[in-house]
Amino acid sequence: MRKEFAVIGLGRFGGSICRALAEEGLEVMAIDRNEDRVNEFSMIATHAVVGDTTDESVVKSLGIRNFDHVIVAIGDNIQASILTTLILKELGVNKITVKAQNDYHEKVLRKIGADHVVHPERDMGKRIAHSIVSNNVLDYLELSDEHSIVEIVANEKLAGYSLIDLDIRAKYGINIVAIKRKNEIIVSPKAHERIQVNDILIVIGADVDINRFEKKVM
Ligand code: ADP
């Protein structure tokens, strides 16, 4: 069975989700109350529809229950975002992802049953801050308040050593889950794998431990 998606709100965020899903060849319905925005997506999405999703009868008429996953990407209008989510939930939509504007918005969305709340500006801000603070950190993904996955570029201090030489797991309590080397990716590298300059180490662990490792070797 093919998955069907609906994206409500075609601003920068919703618009790029819609484009990416369509590029993957997936069925996606694009919805916005602004006709110009909808026209922009008429050639991109499978269907593009004008509608105000705070109106339950509009949402019902779209047959929204039949979609596997609905993404609510209504920007600044928090009230409309909450009301839309509530209507989707009441109509029994299987999976709802909502973009939150701030922490209060996020809290309400979780309370009313949004399955997944995203905070793109805040999360992207954190990721960029991490890579600015440390020159060797390329990317960062927060797993919980205390755990992350981080991409660290290996420098001369690490080059030539194998994972067993470095004994990273015992010394720092973190794990190298993969190494990116030019076009190659070594998943679950073996203990004897030797690190080369400019290898990208994908490290998972507690933030405090990852920080200790970064400071020690960089
Ligand atoms: P972004 O920060 O992602 O660019 P915007 O605020 O520019 O977000 O875009 C949000 C979109 O959501 C706008 O295109 C707006 O027309 C649409 N939108 C806002 N309220 C509703 C609503 N009640 N029903 C449908 N679409 C809505």
Same domain, 107 and 165: no
Q: Of the spans 1-15, 73-87, 134-148, which averages the highest pLDDT?
A: 73-87
What pLDDT, in 10s, does the model give residues 74-119? Answer: 988 999 999 999 999 999 999 999 999 999 999 999 999 999 999 9
39 and 144 within one domain: no
Gap between the Cα atoms of 46 and 26, Å rounded: 8
Query: pLDDT by residue (tens digit) across 173-188?
Result: 999 999 999 999 999 9
**Does residue 83 line the site of ligand 1, with CB under 6 A?**
no
Is pLDDT above 90 for 27? yes
Calculate mean pLDDT across residues 125-153: 84
Tens-digit pLDDT profile for residues 115-138:
999 999 888 888 888 777 777 888
**pLDDT, the chain, mean:** 93
Ligand 1 geometric centre to CA of 213 (Å):
43
pLDDT at 1 over 70: no
pLDDT for 98:
97
65 and 104 part of one domain? yes
Strands 69-72 and 95-99, how do they pair? parallel
Same domain assignment for residues 93 and 127: no
Q: For ligand 1, atom 22, name the residue with the nearest CA.
A: 52
Q: Is the CB of 41 under 6 A from ligand 1?
A: no
Ligand 1 lined by 80 (C-beta under 6 Å): yes
**Pair 113, 210 in one domain:** no
Number of domains the chain contains: 2
CA of 169 to the centre of ligand 1 (A): 46
pLDDT of residue 33: 97
**Are residues 176 and 196 located together in one domain of the fold?**
yes
Contact 69, 118 (CB under 8 A): no
Domain that holds residue 154: 123-217
**Last-in-domain residue among 86, 103, 118:** 118
Domain boundary pick from 118, 135, 150: 118
